[in-house]
Homo-oligomer: A and B are copies of this chain.
Amino acid sequence: MLCSKYTSMSELVNYCLTLSYEGTAYSGFQIQENALTIQEVLETCLEKLFGQPIRVTAAGRTDAGAHARGQVIHYFASPRIPVERLPYALNGLLPKDIVVTGSCLEKDSFDARKNALGKHYRYTVDNGKFPDVFWRRYAWHLPGHLDLEAMRSAAALLVGEHDFKGFQAAGGCVETTVRRLQEVSIRREGQLIHFSLEGSGFLYKMVRNIVGTLVDVGRACKGSGDVLEIMRSRDRKKAGVTAPAWGLCLEEVFY
Contacts and interface: CB of A to CB of B under 8 A. Distances in A.
Interface in A78-101: 87, 91, 96-101
A20 B128 CA distance: 13
Interface string A120-139: 00000000011111101010
Contact of A20 (B20, B22, B99, B132): B132
A21 interface: yes
Contact of A22 (B67, B91, B129, B133): B133
Given A96-B136, A136-B96, A87 B130 contact: yes
Nearest to A21: B133
A22 B133 CA distance: 7
Interface in A1-37: 20-22
Contacts of A132: 20, 99
A99 B130 contact: yes
Interface residues of A, number: 21
A64 B91 CA distance: 26
A138 B137 CA distance: 13
B99 A22 contact: no
A93 to B, nearest CB: 14
Contacts of A20: 132-134
Contacts of A22: 133-134
B87 A133 contact: no
A84 to B, nearest CB: 11
A97 B130 contact: no
A68 to B, nearest CB: 9
A133 B24 CA distance: 12
14 contacts: A20-B132, A20-B133, A20-B134, A22-B133, A67-B134, A69-B133, A69-B134, A87-B130, A91-B130, A97-B136, A99-B131, A99-B132, A99-B133, A101-B130
Given A21-B133, A22-B134, 16 more contacts: A20-B134, A67-B133, A67-B134, A69-B133, A69-B134, A87-B130, A96-B131, A96-B133, A96-B136, A97-B133, A97-B136, A98-B133, A99-B132, A100-B130, A101-B129, A134-B138
